[in-house]
Every structure is written in structure tokens, then in C-alpha cells.
Structure 1
Amino acid sequence: MAENNFPPLPGFIPLKPCFHQDFEEIPDQHRTMCKRLYHLWILYGVTLLVNFLGCMAWMFGGGGVTNFGMSLLWVILFTPCSYVCWFRPIYNAFKTDSSFYFMAFFFVFMAQLCIAIIQAIGIPGWGVCGWLGTISFFGTSVFASIIMLIPTLMFTAVAVVSFVVLTKVHNFYRGSGGSMSKAQEEWVSGSWKNPQGSTAQLSTPDYDNTV
């Protein structure tokens, strides 16, 4: 079994990496898309961190502490959870041609897309800047609102890119003959646990010109 190497933790931290990640083990025809999904996860994590700073400016500008506290919770929980819950499934799906992992990705990533849209809208009290919170705060503090606008734009970009990516992966999967029944067969047989036991044999489209 390959040694875990992700996340790449500094030596002084008394913890070990939890996952093995090596894009060279992803088939060539899927590697570009898999890397772009990884970059999308990084973008989402950075967006949550920038949102934390935006909510800090919001708080110092007179917006209260609720959003600041919630924004910290978003960073702590959703950065690792998004990696585990939707990036690892699609990584394993491309690695093993597993319908089960594709279905797991679609289920979680659709929820991720909805969350990104809500974050872009920016409902006050949810710990995200967003359009509603940013626009309404311009009358209180222009400086803080300009800082809040940065994560708002980033959340919007994440939502748009997530929709495009979800559409492309779904079209590819359905075009390759994947289906819910194949995922159910893998679940019943347990073949999704075995990288060599996958039932879904996917076609090999060219991702070079996709998102």
C-alpha cells in the first residue's frame, strides 16, 4: 500500500498525513480534470480564509461578532470536509473507474454547489460576506465593504466554476455509460473497495479544452 503523503505536514507537527495523493496514478485521459477539481478545492479553501478576513473587517466596522465566529467555523470545518467528502470521491472515481465513487461525488458536490450559491448571496448571520451583506454594509463602512467584496466575488466565482465542472463531469459520466444501477451493483458486490474490481469502464474524452 502506498504511503500517505497528504496533507504535507511540517515535521514539527506530531501528526501524520491521512491520505495518499499522486496524480500520476490517475489515467492520463482523466488527469487534467482531476487536477482542476483539486485546484477548485484549493480555491474554495482560500475563499473561506479570505471570507474569514472579510468578516473580521465586517466586525471591526461595526457588524457584530456572529458572522466573524461563524466564518471561523466555515474555515475549520468545510476546508477538510470538502476535501474528504467530494474531492476524494472524484479522485477515486477517476483512479478506479468506479460508478459508486462518481455517485458519491455527484451527491455531495451538488450540496457543495448549493452551499456556494448561498455563500455568494451572503445571508446575514451565516458567517459569509456575500452580496447581501456587502451591499447593505456600504452605508456603514465603505472600507470594510470593499474588503468584504473580495470574498463575495470569490464565492461567486466558486459557484459558477462548480456548476460548470459538475455539468462537464456529469455529461462525461452519462456519455460513458455510467448509471445508478452500476453504482448499486458495486455497492452490493463491494467492488468499490477494490481498485481492480470496478464495473464501470469509462470512455476517454479529452479534457484539455475543458474547465
Structure 2
Amino acid sequence: MAVENNFPPLPGFIPLKPCFYQNFDEIPEQHRDTCKKLYHLWIFHSATLAVNFVGCLVWMFAGGGVTNFGMAIMWLILFTPCSYVCWFRPIYKAYQTDSSFQFMAFFFVFMAQCFISIIQAIGIPGWGVCGWLGTISFFGTSIFASIIMLVPTLMFTAMATFSFIALTKVHNFYRGSGGSMSKAQEEWTTGAWKSPVVQQAAGQAAMGAMTAGMQGPGQEPQYTAPPPNYDYDNQV
């Protein structure tokens, strides 16, 4: 049965359609809570970039220059969708299909995300972020603007902290479950990472073989109805 993309949930008057299918019920129950927390972390990241945009706007009107405001627009427009595609979707698919390749893709991108969040929290002037350096140095120019700038600064600091904690927890889980780089390379070589349907069928076949092996002589093998198949071609 084909599924209809439902994310992002766009209003009807916008002539665009959702690009992804997202349903946390298809995540195994033991991983669902973690996956939702990572999704909330992405929402917090997007909100931080939006608040930073406001902070840089106030910073510009208070005499901070146009460069930071222009860069803040780039951070917001470019990195909000890129962060969703580049690190949330891989971890969503990793938990959905138990894919080592998707876990490795998440680790590679999310480590960069952590590093970027630290730089944003520091707040190098001219980088389009209201970090600690820019906020503290501007207190002598405008206290009001600096207080506004302090809000995204604190959010960037929280984002860097939460990102490091999330990366550590996911990595500990992955290593504890027997994941490795060699598994990811094997998935890449065989192409199994591209087809959740094939992975699901392989898992069912292995389970069926195990069940048949456990049955005694003369016993009829027992079959269970396969779970519904979904058309993953519409997913990104």
C-alpha cells in the first residue's frame, strides 16, 4: 500500500507538497522515545536559528553591521532543511531499519553539527550568530540589543550541550548493539541500505528458517501473516 508524504505539514494555500513520510509508529517501540527526542532536538535547532535571526536583526539596527544579519538569513534558510535531511532522516531510518550505514551517516554529519553548534555558541563576529563573543562585546554599545542577543546565545549553548549528549547516547547504543564500520561497509557494498523492504524480507526469511529448524519431525511449519508492505519509493 502506497503511503502519502506528510512532512513538513504545509498549509493548503502553499503550492508545495510534503517531501517526506514520517510516522513514529513505524519505529520499534524500544527506540521510539529516543527518535522522538532527536526530532525535538531538530525542532529546537530550527527555533534557535529563527531566534538568532531576530537577534541579528536587532544587532544590525543597533549598529552591529549588515554582515551578521545576512549570514543569519543563510543559517536559517539553508541549515534548517539541511539539518533535517542530513542528520535527522539518517537516524530516523537507522532506527526504523536497523541500518549500520544510516547510523554511520548520522554520526558523520552530527559530529559536524556538534562542532558547528560550539562555534555558534562562541559567536565569532561576522559569522551571523549572536554568540558569547559578539553579545558580551556589544554590551558597551547597546544594553537592550545585547539582552536580546543573549537569548539565542543561551540557546546555541544549550544546543551544543544537548547535541553532545545525544551523540554520546546514540554512539553508546550503537556500539553496545554490535554495530561497526564493517557492517556499514557491507551494507554499502551490497546496496542493502537503499531498500528497507529487502531488509525486512531478509529478516523474515531468517526468522522463518529459525522457526522451521526448531520444529520437530512430522510437525507442520507454522506461518504468520507478514506485516503490511509499504511503498518506500515515495520516501526520501
Instruction: Report the alpha carbon displacement of residue 198 of structure 1 after superposing the two structures with TM.
Output: 4.2
Question: Structure 2 CA distance, aligned partners of 1:40 and 1:67?
Answer: 24
Partner of residue 194, structure 2: 193
Q: How does 1:162-201 map to 2 (within 5 A)?
A: 162-198=163-199
Query: Deviation digits for residues 35-89 of structure 1, max 9, x if unmatched?
Result: 0000000000000000000001101111011000100110000000000000000
Q: Say whether residues 1:121 and 2:122 are aligned partners.
A: yes
> Which AA in structure 2 matches 1:52?
F
Q: Distance in 2 between matches of 1:63 and 1:198?
A: 54
Q: Tell me, yes or no, if the aligned pair for 1:113 and 1:162 is still in contact at 8 Å.
A: yes
User: % of aligned pairs identical?
Assistant: 77
2:45 aligned residue: 44
Contact 1:34–1:94, Cα closer than 8 Å, also in 2: yes
2: distance between equivalents of 1:54 and 1:190?
45
The number of equivalent residue pairs is: 200
Amino acid at match of 1:31: R
- For 1:207, the equivalent position in structure 2 comes to none
C-alpha distance in 1 between matches for 2:195 and 2:66 = 48
Q: Tell me the TM-score normalised to structure 1 length.
A: 0.93
Match of 2:80 in 1: 79
5+ long unaligned stretches in structure 2: 204-236
Shift of 1:197: 4.0
SS in 1 for 2:19: coil
Preserved CA contact (<8 Å) 1:96 1:196: no
Partner Cα separation in structure 1 for residue 101 and residue 157 of structure 2: 30
Give ranges in structure 1 of 5+ residues lacking alignment: 202-211
Kindly state the Cα deviation for residue 177 of structure 1 after the two structures are TM-superposed.
0.2
Q: Which residue in the other structure is 1:100 paired with?
A: 101
**Structure-to-structure mapping, 1:9-20, within 5 angstroms:** 9-20=10-21
Residue 88 of structure 1 corresponds to which residue in structure 2? 89
Pairwise CA distance, 1:25? 0.4
- Residue 118 of structure 1 and its aligned partner are, at CA, apart by 0.3
Give TM-score, length-normalised by structure 2.
0.83
Alignment correspondent of 1:35: 36
The CA RMSD over aligned residues, in Å, is 1.2
Per-residue CA distance 1:85-137 (angstroms, 9 max, x = gap):
00000000000000000000000000000000000000000000100000000
Paired amino acid for 1:119: Q
Could you tell me how far apart the structure 2 residues matched to 1:52 and 1:79 are? Answer: 12
Q: CA deviation at 1:2?
A: 1.6
Residue 196 of structure 2 aligns to a residue whose secondary structure is coil
Paired with 1:172 and 1:98, the residues of 2 have a C-alpha distance of: 13
Question: Take 2:56 and 2:113, find their aligned partners in 1: how far apart are those partners?
Answer: 21
Say whether 1:57 aligns with 2:46: no
